Structure 1
């Protein structure tokens, strides 16, 4: 009789009970925004100019889907995506935009298992994007 509760324990930890990701990125297309301003430093002694190039802003068009239907405020979703660069550094998105057709009064409805596309920008980086994850809750 004392062993009976132990037999029920494995059923509590079945694969269906373990938390599954709420959001999955199915594909992305990297978009690099080159800086429009370059800095130049002129050395009068050697009469040379050194031009400093900033790395591009790394953005992406992201197709993703969620495991649940969610209503989200678009302006509050700025850090829902995380990018990993080729040098293994990571950063959160700081800008997310959806098409005007997908939003209604500043809200977006993310439907369960229905692909959505978003445009997100992350940070400037000299290395390219290798992967993107999302964490809608």
Structure 2
């Protein structure tokens, strides 16, 4: 019996981004099958993969290369790997912004000091 026919169906749709599976071999969790149907999560009932979760098209069957079928655990690992890259990029951007804040605050303090000196001296300010 196939994974699809023995598996128990969940009415919960798969989450995250839409990517091609089987034919296109995209990364991460697929939300939709190439036929346009929203993916569902099911549980394998086979001896080879008992209890293993997978995303599939409700219209697919074992051996059907057109409709979505992908193991949940493999796709989640890819999602985590991709999110680690995004997190590093965000951390770098936050670090750059903190440096920029320090630079702008220093410039502001210098401008305030020059304005105070100019106000005390009554002359022309030296701000360029």
Normalising by the smaller structure, the TM-score range is: under 0.3
Structure-2-length-normalised TM-score: 0.22
Compare CA radii of gyration and give the structure with the larger one. Answer: 2
**Could you say which structure has the higher strand fraction?**
1
